[in-house]
Structure 1
Amino acid sequence: MPSNRWLLLIPPLLGGLLSGVLVYRFAPEAEGDGTDAAIDAFHYKEGNIRLRASITKLITSAITIGSGGSAGKEGPVAQIGGGFGSFLARLFKLNAKDTRIALAVGLGAGMGSIFKAPFGGAIFASEILYLMDFETEVIPPAFIASLVGYLITGYLTGWRHIFFATNLAGMSYKLYEPLTLFFFVLLGVVNGFVGVIYVKVFYQLRDFFKRIETVPDMLKPAIGGLLTGLMGVFFPQVLGSSYGWLQMAINGDFNYLSITVLILLPFLKILSTAFTVASGGSGGTFAPALVIGGSIGASIWLLAKELLPGYDVPVAAYVVVGMMSFFGGVGKVPIATILMVSEMTGEYELFTPSLLTTILCYLITGHYSIYESQVRSRVESPAHGASKIGSLSILYEHLLEENSSILKEVKASQIMIKAPVKLRCTDKVGSAINLTRKYPYRMYPVVDGENRFQGFIKVEDLIFLRGKALNIELAYLPIHRGVAVHPSEELGEVMRKMIEHEVDKVAVVDSENKLLGIITAKEILRHIAFKRQGRRET
């Protein structure tokens, strides 16, 4: 610490200035959080990241973090690792699908290497792309790449964990006591609400910096660096990755971390990270999230110590669980984060408390994610050719945001159509196949002798049957239960059920479950288009 604290203003300012000039001169896509840029490239750019962007990210991130900017290494590593995977895919002339996989594998390998967490890094590569899904094809190659990266990193830099935590082996009985679990629940709840603040503040400041038109983009990181440095003059804990301060909390060393500082640190770190990264500086949001969650965990531990004299659960348990749960919620990677932080600290006794707190934080943060390029699931990803359900989900969210009356005014009876063809349970496979040739659809409603809806049967369950199987009644084949709605149900409820069950067709039935018609995603999209067009014309 310099004798004159005001000198702390200078390094972040100069680092932001140099980083901004390099980024906007050589690779504008290297600004901001690298992880989000890699996710964006996966979904919207066929997995392509310019090699120049990766090299620029490497240099500018080192400048930003090294000069005291409040950012982490994971963002740069994600974009650099993903960019190298993308480069190799182009070098070997792989198709778009394999290029995306190579990008995600490179991302996971980078994370597993830099944080010495090969298992978590591989899962991270698959989980980080979506709010509520996994890219399963990424996992096998990501395990191999992440392990190789970890072995090389360990050989060159040593095998010590990123953080040293108190050995909790044999303390499970204390961690699972009702009072201790209560404080872990409290930690998860607090992390959830602070996580929402983190996301909102980050993107509001990002939008604020973008609206400043009088300042060139390349100078905005310098402004962010100046503001970060100003905060560092009074609270040096916010500068850099803050891992040293986090290690102090894990060790229970509170000489420089008073209760006041611990309470303020999450909010100060949120602001300093937003100033550094959201202004266009180069860095990641993972490390700041660990510091925010860890400091909240330490505060909860101090509260427990105050209320329960003689409380002997180590502070490391709360700090580590706080780290896990906070980023698991705001990054939408609960499984990967639990694994990664366990590997980073070498502590594996905390799975139950970490699951409890991470799930709570994940649920409370809801759709708020620090990575705005994430999509809900594969059905909404352009990488998988956004399906009808994906389009329906996007439209539904848009209508909810604008509080459209269409969702309540329109009833199922208004958009249902008569089923062009329906099959009966007693129909033979042969006759059903003949009907599929005349009416070529992907699935068909099935009813019993009294027209009661039984479910849907897929065309692929019929067309490959041969010989004696043609005389089997449909009742003996796999009939998918399907989703049914009533004529009076609102359009919003119909769309919600279709999205929830990931189906693009539902049956409309009466009170006796008799089939009245069907509603398809295509009909919904068409009806809404006509409705909105009619309103614009009037």
Structure 2
Amino acid sequence: MENEKVVVNHTESADERITQHSWKDILEPPAKGKNKARYFITPVIIGLIVGILSLVFIDIMDFFTRWSLGIVAHFIPPRSSGFGGGGAQAPYTSAPGYPFMIPLVEGMAGFISGILSYFMIKKPGSLGANKAIRAYHENPESLTLKEAFTTLFTSAMVLGSGGPSGREGAVSMVGGSVGVFIAKLLRQKPHEVREALAIGVGAGLGAMFKAPLAGAIASSEIFFKHDFDIETIIPAFAASAAAYLVVATKVGFSPLFRIGVLPVHSFELRYILWFSIFGIFSGLIARFLLWVFYYISDLFKKLKQPIYVSALIGGVLAGCIGLLSSYAIGNGYGWLQLIMDHKISPGVSELTLGIICVILAMSLNAGSGASGGAFSPTVVIGGLSGALFWHFAKVVSPDVNIPIAMFVVVGMMAVFSVAANAPLSTIVMITEMTGSYGVLLPAMLTVGIAMMFGGEHSLFNAQHDHRSASDHANS
């Protein structure tokens, strides 16, 4: 009985300590010192620097696009509306004027990126975002500015030269490295350095894809398969917003894609059925993508060649794949813009070939160790899958009035959600990239079903299942 009383008294005293608040407490000034640095000063500094470096990346990429693709190969890829495309005066070519130059420029870009990576990066040959994720879990200080700036240049060169790569690899490395550098400069604690890495990654994603809210969410989601690091959300808001403002001030505040108002006035029950089936289709597409990616990556590992040799081979082969479908040259966003604008109407065979070619070219490029990321080509694969499924829906039920743009946007969300194991940030990111809030209902349904059929694998094998499995959580 005495022990029970002690327990009760102990519980009561604990409750009293927890609930002892008064109106005076509310009027106390906000947190001082390091809390302000952690939640505002440090994130804003990180965001501003990451935003500036994102603009540098865009300029380098545009330079190589003009020279390697425009002058050498006589190919002008279409652009999305948020980066100068989609308008009546936006020129593009449907195929390279000198097609034999595409494998050459992609191969040379891969070779040069491999040489620089071989001498400047300790462990080259992985997706940039994957490196940032691994550093977050194992050793944040392993991300250095030297490696980040090397990745920024090489990734911009590979992508600008037609490599089917993504921007998120470079900005993740740069953002994470800047975050670690600033946190160490301000003599912050080890857990705050790790938090700054995550904030920098989110700021880079938010700036590069003009999706600041998604960038903040990604800073807590992308490091885990089934968990969040919620502590990073609040400071990530400030960092992602600052980075986005820097980039948008130069390139504009419009979304990355323009799709207009989707003419669906009533969401009928059969539409739920169509998007449910589309969820299964998207999940299977993502699983096929992951299988091809890891199969080709394993083949390059078995070659046991220096990274510059592997990247050269991967670049040449990816360029050859690009000759079969222009969708597999560069990031491919412009083609999705043209489809949603109804300026091109690719058929079933063209879309099927495009999906296969982008999967193969992205896997050859990334699997060989060439610098870059996987977000952009995976999003393009999802968009093309949506356009392909729209054709299937129209054949089965010709009176379906769901616009093709809706399937394209939802496809972007579903395929990358599965491929990256990051459904929440992906839904928010694509919504911000397209300004298409009207697709949230079908998107949530499709993504949820796609995740069920997508399996446990991810493009980012450095992700941990939960925070408890992370090295720093056990230290």
Per the TM alignment, residue 179 of structure 1 is displaced from its structure 2 partner at its CA by 2.1
| Aligned match of 1:345 | 434
Aligned 1:17-416 pairs, distance under 5 A: 17-46=111-140, 48-168=142-262, 171-173=264-266, 176-213=267-304, 215-255=305-345, 257-385=346-474
Q: Which moved more, 1:257-266 or 1:282-291?
A: 257-266
Per the TM alignment, residue 2 of structure 1 is displaced from its structure 2 partner at its CA by 3.4
Alpha-carbon distance in structure 1 between the residues aligned to 2:114 and 2:470: 31
Alpha-carbon distance in structure 2 between the residues aligned to 1:208 and 1:154: 41
CA deviation profile, 1:473-508 (whole Å, cap 9, x unmatched): xxxxxxxxxxxxxxxxxxxxxxxxxxxxxxxxxxxx
CA contact (8 A) 1:30 1:57 kept: no
Equivalent residue letter for 1:181: I
Structure 1 residue runs of 4 or more that deviate by more than 6 Å after TM superposition: none
Per the TM alignment, residue 30 of structure 1 is displaced from its structure 2 partner at its CA by 4.9
CA contact (8 A) 1:72 1:287 kept: yes
Per the TM alignment, residue 47 of structure 1 is displaced from its structure 2 partner at its CA by 5.0
Equivalent residue letter for 2:220: S
Per the TM alignment, residue 352 of structure 1 is displaced from its structure 2 partner at its CA by 0.9
Per the TM alignment, residue 26 of structure 1 is displaced from its structure 2 partner at its CA by 1.0
Alpha-carbon distance in structure 2 between the residues aligned to 1:126 and 1:244: 30
Per the TM alignment, residue 258 of structure 1 is displaced from its structure 2 partner at its CA by 2.7
CA contact (8 A) 1:34 1:76 kept: yes
Which structure shows the bigger proportion of residues in helix conformation?
2
Larger gyration radius, structure 1 or structure 2? 1
Per the TM alignment, residue 271 of structure 1 is displaced from its structure 2 partner at its CA by 1.0
For the structure 1 residues 340 and 352, does the alpha-carbon distance in structure 2 shift closer, same or farther, using more than 3 Å as the test?
same
CA deviation profile, 1:191-246 (whole Å, cap 9, x unmatched): 11121121122122112111212x32221111000000111122121011011112
CA contact (8 A) 2:201 2:219 kept: yes
| Aligned match of 1:447 | none
CA contact (8 A) 1:277 1:284 kept: yes
CA contact (8 A) 2:106 2:319 kept: yes
SS of 1:32's partner is coil
Alpha-carbon distance in structure 2 between the residues aligned to 1:172 and 1:281: 46
CA contact (8 A) 2:140 2:197 kept: no
Alpha-carbon distance in structure 2 between the residues aligned to 1:103 and 1:202: 27
Alpha-carbon distance in structure 1 between the residues aligned to 2:434 and 2:141: 32
CA deviation profile, 1:59-114 (whole Å, cap 9, x unmatched): 00011101111111011111111111011122222222111100000000111111
Alpha-carbon distance in structure 1 between the residues aligned to 2:407 and 2:225: 26
Gaps in structure 2 of 5+ consecutive residues: 1-94
Equivalent residue letter for 1:200: W
Alpha-carbon distance in structure 2 between the residues aligned to 1:21 and 1:355: 43
SS of 1:349's partner is helix
For the structure 1 residues 88 and 31, does the alpha-carbon distance in structure 2 shift closer, same or farther, using more than 3 Å as the test?
farther
For the structure 1 residues 306 and 333, does the alpha-carbon distance in structure 2 shift closer, same or farther, using more than 3 Å as the test?
same
Per the TM alignment, residue 312 of structure 1 is displaced from its structure 2 partner at its CA by 2.3
CA deviation profile, 1:162-216 (whole Å, cap 9, x unmatched): 1111312x7351xx31222222112110111121121122122112111212x32
Which structure shows the bigger proportion of residues in strand conformation?
1
For the structure 1 residues 322 and 81, does the alpha-carbon distance in structure 2 shift closer, same or farther, using more than 3 Å as the test?
same
Q: Which has the higher contact order (CA 8 A, sep 6+)?
A: 2
Per the TM alignment, residue 147 of structure 1 is displaced from its structure 2 partner at its CA by 0.8
SS of 1:183's partner is helix
For the structure 1 residues 88 and 29, does the alpha-carbon distance in structure 2 shift closer, same or farther, using more than 3 Å as the test?
farther
CA deviation profile, 1:128-152 (whole Å, cap 9, x unmatched): 0100000111101001100111111
CA contact (8 A) 2:325 2:353 kept: no
Alpha-carbon distance in structure 2 between the residues aligned to 1:28 and 1:225: 22
CA contact (8 A) 2:264 2:401 kept: no
Per the TM alignment, residue 249 of structure 1 is displaced from its structure 2 partner at its CA by 2.1
CA contact (8 A) 2:203 2:243 kept: yes
Q: CA RMSD in A?
A: 1.5
Per the TM alignment, residue 18 of structure 1 is displaced from its structure 2 partner at its CA by 0.8
Aligned 1:485-504 pairs, distance under 5 A: none
For the structure 1 residues 172 and 101, does the alpha-carbon distance in structure 2 shift closer, same or farther, using more than 3 Å as the test?
farther
CA contact (8 A) 1:42 1:48 kept: no
Gaps in structure 1 of 5+ consecutive residues: 387-538
Equivalent residue letter for 1:171: V
